[in-house]
Structure 1
Amino acid sequence: MIYKMIQVRWITILFICIAVNNIALAQTVRTPQQIIESLYKQYDSLPNVTFDVEFRYTSDTLNGNFTNEVLEGTYTMAGKRARYTIGDIEYMQNDSFFIAVYNKDKFIMVSNTILANTGKVLPAREAIDSLLYSYGNHYTITAAENDTFGIVNFAKADSLAQFLNFAIRYRPDMNYIKEIAYDFEVPYAPVSDLSPVSLADADSSGNNTVDDRSAVPLVIMRRNRLQIQFATHRLDNFSRDIYSENNYIYFEGEECLPVPKYRDYNIRNSYRKIY
């Protein structure tokens, strides 16, 4: 799934505290790959699990300018069935349908089921797979854990690494993820900051002879962090009724229509019945 990037500001003391506490962690006998696969296995095999997520996207306070937003959601995964919300967007999958409801834009997307196991919708799972299996050679990957806390850390090792750092924090006793955090840099060009002028561009009086209209803003790299925090894993949403397409749509012949609750919503339907 493609998720919208959300921008938030958060000056985190938590990260520093965890980094210090890692000194007390024993180096695990499991490899990072084994740990990640055990986390996947837990989410893939549970017949039903619900958890809350909070997406936090933060930047540094460069020149007093920063971004700070939070996006909350809830996930339920139950084999081939799933229901989850991210901000104002709601997703539902059952054995036949995948439905996405965009409440702000008032439209519903309808298609065939896209995943055999909804554990695949685990937040950041595609990113983890990419780092581990495609870009692993470009990171220094370490793992440590004790009875109650574990971490797998990807630290940038060369220029081909997409992130400065990527960390997965989890509970070894439950194989539940607690937090996933990305640290990365993006270009930033303040409107008021122009590139430095060389001595060759100034006349003998020290005045700048460069045409200000052609001056190029000074581009600097700004550090950002995206955190996905997992909380309150629980057994919830057992009823099969909540995974019914009839909560959102119905069909009149070949035409797909919204139920009364969504009467003002447009439908984008690509569902094809499989015989």
Structure 2
Amino acid sequence: MTTTRVAVPRKGRPLEAVLERLAGRTGTTDLADDIISTLRYEKAVTKGNQDAVADVYHRISDYSSLDAPYKPEYTLLRDDRDGMPRRIVFDSVTVPTEHGDVQLVGREEPFRALRTHEFALGFDSADLVLEEVVQLRDEPLTAIHEINDRIDPLDTDVRVVTGLGDTVYHTLLATPEVMDTQDGPLDRDFVTNYEGELCISPRYERLVEAVLGTSALDGVSFTYPTEGGEEEADIAATGLGVYLTVTGSTARDHGLELGEQLFPSETVLLENAHERTETTERVASLFEEPEETALQSI
């Protein structure tokens, strides 16, 4: 049987979500756990929260088994932290499945690798899709299944197939003082009636415009967190902002009220429709929950 290559992130929550979903469908839980624990350890080493027992070259040699099938491989990248330390990240692993071998291949930008037709299938954050290709409209974008309707077919052949459910949310946050300027909940309507500054991460500017809707931003100007500072603190200083939250505990520590969850930040399965084959369709089904219905591909 053939090997199907699937582009995945090299590290972080999206890669873990892919490994866990595939492990659940193929019984390769030990393999997924090994990769996840290795990368978490290496992240801790890079951040200075863990002491390494060997240098980086010995560690990567221990992790990678190039002569053994179905074993993970790793590679070295320069981290953008002070001093630009070398960081061990995921390179690839081949997993046997009922639809043939599936090779997960690490890429810095999986979505862009699909856009250039290097892969038929891949995973990336829904955030990146919103930042790069969705059309901005007056109406807000509120759910993952709406993304494909906002992609211009002339812009890219890539479409969202399904999400993996590893969800945190882009959430509206405000100080009580700003909340008191209007009656009603802290939601999109609140922003529509608001005039003033809205603090966001600069990398999420198009995303925020998409999920709030451009008409809601009349009279609103974006400000950005100070470099190296806590984003919740900068939002508290501004009075209103959008930030990723899980429990919201840090936001509350800064005196912020949690408002509407605007959009899920979720890992999504992507397909380049131009590269679709019967095999890639079968492989894509491995990443869907049994009860899921995949999104309509265009």
Short-chain TM bin: under 0.3
When normalised by structure 1's length, the TM-score is: 0.23
Structure (1 or 2) with the greater strand fraction = 1
Higher relative contact order (CA 8 A, sep 6+): 2
When normalised by structure 2's length, the TM-score is: 0.22
